[in-house]
């Protein structure tokens, strides 16, 4: 049986998504966390394919997709969103074949920084990434809590929230916030979020000063969230939690980097608990997210 690695097509994405879901759940079940992934959770891979098809690859064997890799680039940051191999075919070098193609995507883009988020307990993959120059930077915890429990004693929103309007001026402001918070503009990804029917976004204001932005999913998930002064993270997260707690979702959730002390303390204080741990890995010189809460491991 011969293995073929080729650029992904739009018609491949449903099968690739099924493989990713199966691989994630195989991993999380084996480590005692239970199944966590569900199929068809995002249209972001298709958005990325249309934006930059060089970042998506499939490994195929006898006409069946057995591996999938997906990376995207913004400015000088290359991000590995997914790299998964069919669990029954792992250990045969398929992951390495796909990683080499995604790293070539990074080289051709001229990216100065390579970044990814992986499961803390995914030791084999971490070793592979370290061998290719991406090193552990900090933990990222997925917090979750019952909405009614989180809403109890939640303080009034400390910041004013104004709906993102999608104008050129707002896009420019979002780009500047991102440059200061994570070192790169993500204007195209904000445009994706504007068109996401299950996500709402708002700019965060402290008086007359715009200090950041936050997005909230209809399922109660907070993120991405970014602020300009790092000390505003707790207030920004508190404001987003207030909106989430006023919604109809049964639970509220967020990914919180391990160096966002204020946000971590607030989450624990409101009854949210760590569901599973993840890890930010990056090339040297990148990885301080004191001003940023990611949306998920694929979007960043």
Answer yes or no: are the C-beta atoms of 290 and 233 closer than 8 Å.
yes
φ/ψ (deg, to 5) at 263: -65, -40
Long-range pairs for 127-130: beta carbons < 8 A, 24 or more residues apart: 128/95, 128/96, 128/99, 129/281, 130/281
Give the confidence band of 1 by pLDDT, cuts at 50, 70, 90.
low
Please check whether the domain covering 143-276 is classified as CATH 3.40.50.300: no
Mean pLDDT within 217-246: 96
Query: Please, which pLDDT band fits residue 158 given cuts at 50, 70 and 90?
Result: very high
Domain span(s) for CATH 3.40.630.30 in the chain: 3-111, 143-276
pLDDT (average), residues 271-291: 96
Token look-up 């068109």 returns 195
Q: What is the pLDDT of residue 261?
A: 96
Looking at residue 91, what is its pLDDT? Answer: 78
| Predicted confidence (pLDDT) at residue 6 exceeds the cutoff of 90 | yes
Convert the pLDDT of each residue in 34-81 to its tens digit.
Answer: 888 898 777 999 999 999 999 999 999 988 999 999 999 999 999 999
Other residues' Cβ atoms within 10 Å of the Cβ of residue 26:
17
Check: CATH 3.40.630.30 for 3-111?
Answer: yes
pLDDT averaged over every residue in the chain: 95
């Amino acid at each position: 049986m011969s293995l073929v690695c080729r650029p992904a097509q739009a018609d491949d994405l449903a099968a690739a998504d099924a493989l990713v879901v199966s691989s994630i759940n195989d991993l999380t079940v084996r480590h005692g966390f239970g199944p966590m992934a569900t199929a068809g959770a995002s249209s972001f891979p298709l958005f990325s394919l249309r934006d930059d098809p060089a970042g998506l690859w499939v490994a195929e064997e006898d006409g069946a997709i057995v591996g999938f890799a997906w990376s995207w680039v913004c400015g000088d940051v290359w991000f590995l969103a997914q790299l998964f191999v069919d669990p029954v075919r792992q250990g045969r070098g398929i992951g390495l074949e796909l990683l080499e193609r995604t790293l070539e995507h990074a080289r051709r883009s001229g990216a100065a920084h390579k970044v990814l988020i992986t499961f803390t307990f995914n030791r084999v993959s971490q070793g592979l990434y370290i061998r290719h120059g991406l090193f552990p930077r900090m933990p990222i915890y997925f917090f979750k809590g019952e909405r009614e429990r989180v809403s109890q004693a939640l303080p009034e929103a400390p910041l004013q929230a104004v709906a993102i309007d999608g104008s050129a001026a707002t896009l420019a402001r979002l780009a500047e916030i991102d440059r200061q918070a994570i070192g790169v503009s993500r204007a195209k990804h904000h445009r994706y979020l504007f068109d996401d029917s299950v996500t709402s976004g708002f700019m965060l204001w402290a008086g007359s000063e715009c200090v950041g932005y936050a997005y909230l999913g209809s399922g109660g998930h907070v993120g991405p969230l970014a602020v300009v002064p790092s000390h505003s993270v707790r207030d920004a997260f508190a404001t987003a939690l207030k909106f989430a707690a006023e919604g109809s979702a049964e639970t509220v959730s967020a990914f919180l980097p391990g160096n966002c002390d204020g946000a971590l303390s607030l989450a624990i204080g409101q009854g949210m608990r760590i569901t599973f741990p993840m890890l930010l890995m990056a090339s040297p010189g990148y990885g301080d997210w004191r001003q940023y809460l990611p949306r998920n491991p694929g979007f960043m």
